[in-house]
Amino acid sequence: MPISKVALFSNEYPPNVYGGAGVHVEYLSKALAERVAVEVRCFGEQDEVCGNLRIKGYQPWPDMKQNTDPRFASAMGAFSQSLAMAKDNLDADVVHCHTWYTQMGGLLAAKLWNIPFVLTTHSLEPLRPWKAEQLGTAYQLSSWMERTAIESADAVIAVSRETRNDVFRLFGAAEARTHVIHNGIDLDEYRPTDKTDVLQRYGVDLSRPYVLFVGRITRQKGIVHLVNAIPYIDRNVQVVLLAGAPDTDRIAAEMNQSVAAARKVRDGIIWIDEMLPRDQTIQFYSHAAVFCCPSVYEPFGIINLEAMACRTAVVASAIGGIPEVVVGDETGVLVELALEPGTFSPRDPAQFSRQLAGAINRVASDPSLAQRMGAAGRVRAEQHFSWRAIAAKTLELYNALLERRRGDA
């Protein structure tokens, strides 16, 4: 008998989405719900039913912030929410977790309700050492939760081949239970639009090209390296930064200082320090001359796929899973990034910034090249990254786990 119901555990779900993992769970749940019943348990106050899709939010225990280092609240709160998710009655055939925040919930639910446990690795804690700045020594707790879950899961899904290699290298996960299923894109929602009212509202000069960044202000996303590239970017090219939700006060201060310094050198820098609604962000994607992803660590890079679906050429770091999405000199330009051994700091930050600027100038100064790369990006998104295809692969994995468990019974 094939699977009839799936439980997805996630810290992010609309309206509380701030990163690629949240986007993934939102669209995967909807695509799965076209074929089976889906229950999403997430962090928040959600409580709704949409056809085949049930969504329930969970809050952390209220005393998680009391009598402790305030940096511990995130990890300890996640643990408390995971316990609540796991203990609630569950009639699903499989539990599928996303990010370390809910992996303890999935592991415990699998034990309590005797169902297979699947997890998707959207990033890996050993490859994000800057999280210690945000979590303090609770970074050791998040790392332990992730390792314990990966070692215990019936199946581990990596969002790229490079991430699968990292799982092997860092955790020794068995090849037979580690799979690659990419992120996807809603091709009906992410498509070019002629609308420009939002751009005009924020002061974008429609007569000049612009390079676009979309993402959180984190070490991982490398936004400071793009800001440091601004002096080398053609002055006719505007720089538009849709960048908010800083990880820490420290990186927020660095960002403010770097943008202020860049504005002393040139004009045409527009920084929108909030996460805009999706339809507004699509306007920015659609009219950009080039999109830039300067990440120093990126297991997949769904923002590149969003830009490509909107027919926008991409300049991105050639790291992690990005080369599995962006095809160099076809859908964009890949910039080589050498890192200091054992770190995620560029070996030569100034050179990296100059290379980013050079690639941006190359595309932005050649409208025919930008148009050709943007068109190729849209085709690639259509051919390889639809959510229905991703959901079908995921269901196939669930059913294989169920068949194996029934065979072992």
pLDDT digits (tens, 9 = 90+) for 24-57: 999 999 999 999 999 999 999 999 999 999 999 9
Which ranges in 202-320 belong to alpha helices (H)? Answer: 223-229, 249-265, 278-287, 302-309
Q: Do 394 and 380 fall within a single domain?
A: no
Q: Do 277 and 155 fall within a single domain?
A: no
pLDDT in tens, 236-265: 999 999 999 888 889 899 999 999 999 999
Q: Do 258 and 320 fall within a single domain?
A: yes
pLDDT in tens, 99-154: 999 999 999 999 999 999 999 999 888 888 878 888 889 999 999 999 999 999 99
Look up residue 217 and give its two tokens: 């202000």
Domain that includes residue 295, residue range: 197-384
The total of structural domains in the chain comes to 2
Q: Do 365 and 391 fall within a single domain?
A: no
- Is 56 a domain residue? yes
Q: Do 139 and 271 fall within a single domain?
A: no
Q: Do 326 and 215 fall within a single domain?
A: yes
Tell me if 370 sits within 8 A of 378, measured CB to CB. no
- Is 28 a domain residue? yes
Look up residue 108 and give its two tokens: 């415990």
- Is 190 a domain residue? no
- Is 329 a domain residue? yes
Q: How confident is residue 345, by pLDDT bands cut at 50, 70 and 90?
A: confident
Q: Do 335 and 392 fall within a single domain?
A: no
- Is 192 a domain residue? no
Q: Do 330 and 201 fall within a single domain?
A: yes
Q: Do 392 and 326 fall within a single domain?
A: no
Tell me if 44 sits within 8 A of 81, measured CB to CB. no
pTM: 0.83
Q: Do 311 and 240 fall within a single domain?
A: yes
Give the closest residue to 85 by CA, choosing from 74, 69, 70, 101: 101
Q: Where residue 73 sits, what CATH number does that domain have?
A: 3.40.50.2000
Q: Do 180 and 83 fall within a single domain?
A: yes
Q: Do 250 and 109 fall within a single domain?
A: no
